[in-house]
Chains A and B, each alone.
Chain A
Amino acid sequence: MSTPATAEPIAPMRQQLVMEFPYKHSTGETIGRFLAGLKEQKKIWGQRVAGQGVVVPPVGYSELDGSGGGEWVEVKDTGVITACAIVHHPVEKLHPCSSPFAFVLVKLDGADTALAHVVKGDLDKVKVGARVAAVWAADEARQGSIRDLECFRVTG
């Protein structure tokens, strides 16, 4: 058989494919204890680092001079938005929520750095400077991950 390649038009072929990589991320000592605090104590812990104040989540060392992380400090589960981006069209399984939400940086009360998280509800009130409070996952649902803090909600 021998035919010219473009003898007749052909309908396009299209297929939906999915690449998935399930894996376990090793947390390490410092983040591991931060996550254990969320799960077991319903508390948010940071570390006091020379020159940086209270760092949340703790990284275990100073970003200025590389010296070790200091004393553990509990911070509040309320705070203020320092940056935000509203996601109007979440992608299933790719984003943490299936309905519109906001990615935010929250400076928790007692912390000097901001934590990245999500705000659900009242998206019209999401703006830099807005006060937020954490919504915790139920006791039996907390498993030692950042999602133990289910989301934040705007309080004023």
Chain B
Amino acid sequence: MNEPPKEPVKYVQSHVYLPYHYVAGDYRARYLRALKDKKILGSKCSRTGKVFVPPLLNSPESFAPATEFVEVADKGVITTFCIVNIPVIGRDLQIPYVAASVALDGAALSIFALILEVQPEAVRMGMRVEAVWKPDGERHGDHEDIMYFRPTGEPDEPMESFIRRL
């Protein structure tokens, strides 16, 4: 034998494994702890009064410190959304599902949210939604304390009310 085999190996399995520690800072820790009590905290810009959720130390617009915590509502409006038709590894959701940006009442910016309990085709920009929380005793102060958002059935909001809060 003075040749390697004719039939090559076609693939090798590779595995990238990156363990790391996430350390929540002061503001983010307070925000997460509050979720345990079904409260969503934002921080208020000392110059413009805008409320950022999750709380930021400084306004990304005015750079002024946001030194005051404010509770915002656990309901709001869908500002934009997409229907996900491709399964994501590690995310155990039945497709299609809706991933949306939700501007909570009282917040100047929107957060990322999963929308369930509605047909994906029925989701609209301007639709009113509310958080569905994990039951008492099962919340641990992490993002999964809000399982998802669902429509409230209230009338839609006009685009002018959320166009600047995408």
Contact = CB atoms under 8 A, between A and B. Distances in A.
Interface of A: 1-6, 10-37, 39-41, 43, 45, 72, 74, 91, 93-94, 144-146
B13 interface: yes
B20 to A, nearest CB: 6
Interface of B: 1-24, 26-30, 32-33, 39, 43-44, 55, 66-71, 141-142
A40 B48 CA distance: 71
B8 A5 contact: no
Contacts of B26: 6, 10
Most chain B CB inside 10 Å of its own CB: which residue of A3, A28, A39: A3
30 contacts: A2-B70, A4-B67, A4-B68, A6-B67, A12-B29, A13-B29, A13-B32, A14-B21, A14-B22, A19-B16, A21-B15, A22-B13, A22-B14, A23-B16, A24-B11, A25-B14, A26-B11, A32-B8, A32-B10, A33-B5, A36-B5, A36-B7, A36-B8, A36-B9, A40-B5, A43-B1, A45-B4, A72-B2, A74-B2, A93-B15
A5 B67 contact: yes
Contacts of B14: 22-25
A39 B28 CA distance: 52
Given A1-B71, A17-B21, A41-B5, 7 more contacts: A2-B44, A2-B69, A15-B142, A17-B20, A20-B17, A23-B16, A91-B19
Contact of B16 (A21, A34, A144, A145): A21
Q: Closest 10 CB pairs between A and B?
A: A32-B8, A144-B9, A37-B4, A35-B9, A36-B5, A13-B24, A21-B16, A19-B18, A13-B29, A33-B4
A136 B5 CA distance: 18
B90 to A, nearest CB: 8
Contacts of B7: 36
A15 B21 contact: yes
Is the contact region of chain A dominated by helix, strand, or loop, or is it mixed? Answer: mixed
Given A2-B69, A5-B55, A24 B12 contact: yes
Nearest to B24: A13
Nearest to B72: A1
B13 A24 contact: yes
Contacts of B29: 10-13
Contacts of A33: 4-6, 8-9
